[in-house]
Amino acid sequence: MVNSSSSYVRVWFITGSSRGFGRALAETLLDRGETVVLTARNLQQVEDLTTRFSDRTLAVQLDVTKPEEVQDAVKQAIAKFGRIDVLVNNAGYGTLGAIEEVSDQAVRRQFETNVFGVLETLRAVLPHMRQQRGGHILNISSVSGIVSGAGSGIYDSTKFALEAISEALAKEVAPLGIKVTIVEPGSFRTDFVTRSLVVTDTQIEDYEAATGHIRQIVRDVQDMKIREQGDPKKAALAMIQAVDSENSPLRLALGPHAINIINTKLESVKAELDTWKEVSVNTAFEEVVVGETQVAS
């Protein structure tokens, strides 16, 4: 892919462009002279950008849970600009509640947006990237894609799924000149908590000790008693830097909050692995030499 520092203007396709990271990224890219396909469920929320940058934008209504809208949005982008250089799978929301508290319907709705919506968009864009033998995919995950917590397990599980999909995809498309980066933000001052977080109505008293603190944090953020430390504009610049890099990362953690939590998780996994290593390796047949390459079951 041609770097933005050259005369070539890249085409970015961003889901969920109306707010949060999608909005911050779109604004930053347009200010830098790049071309952006702005997708949103409510196009009025991106009208200011299409007015200011009419020659370098295309606004398309898109609900990622509707396959026909995904296909149509990609077709419109290709028809107008001829290619998609960077796909940003940003659309998504969160569900808050203990595993037992979240209804089956709410779980399925969460996966429809955060997982199946991403898959639908990937499958619509990938044929074009394969044909042009180049492209970059940014899948917006979360620190919750590495570390799951009490009270957010359903949301976290969608991000864990996205991490697995992205890791496999990166290996599949690398020979085709396509790159994949998983973006893992920590706490950032977007409107995620105030507008993109659904708190389950069902509350089981037995789980209060485990999940009460996260509910309180959400209330404090909504009441602005707590302010997130991360700057979405700086996050946007970090994402652009990753795409610009010849050695772009598979995973891009954003913010000290994410770095600290991920490091703690990795250290914990390593410590537990070492503690139980003897029990683990003793499950092999006697004739098996430990360390031989195996196919996972």
Burial of 259 (0-12, 13-18, 19+ CB in 10 A): middle
Give yes or no for a contact between 97 and 202, defined as CB atoms under 8 angstroms apart: yes
Residue ranges of E strands in the chain: 11-14, 35-40, 57-61, 86-89, 94-96, 135-140, 178-185, 197-199, 251-254
Report the C-alpha gap between 196 and 10 in whole angstroms: 29
Helix (H, G, I), strand (E, B) or coil at 30: helix
Q: Active site includes 159?
A: yes
Q: 17, 141, 152, 157: which is the annotated catalytic residue? A: 141
Give yes or no for a contact between 3 and 134, defined as CB atoms under 8 angstroms apart: no
Closest of 115, 15, 13 to residue 62, by C-alpha: 15
Q: 155, 157, 179, 187: which is the annotated catalytic residue? A: 155
Q: Active site includes 8?
A: no
Q: 159, 166, 179, 187: which is the annotated catalytic residue? A: 159
Residue 185 pairs in a beta bridge with 254
Active site residue ranges: 141, 155, 159
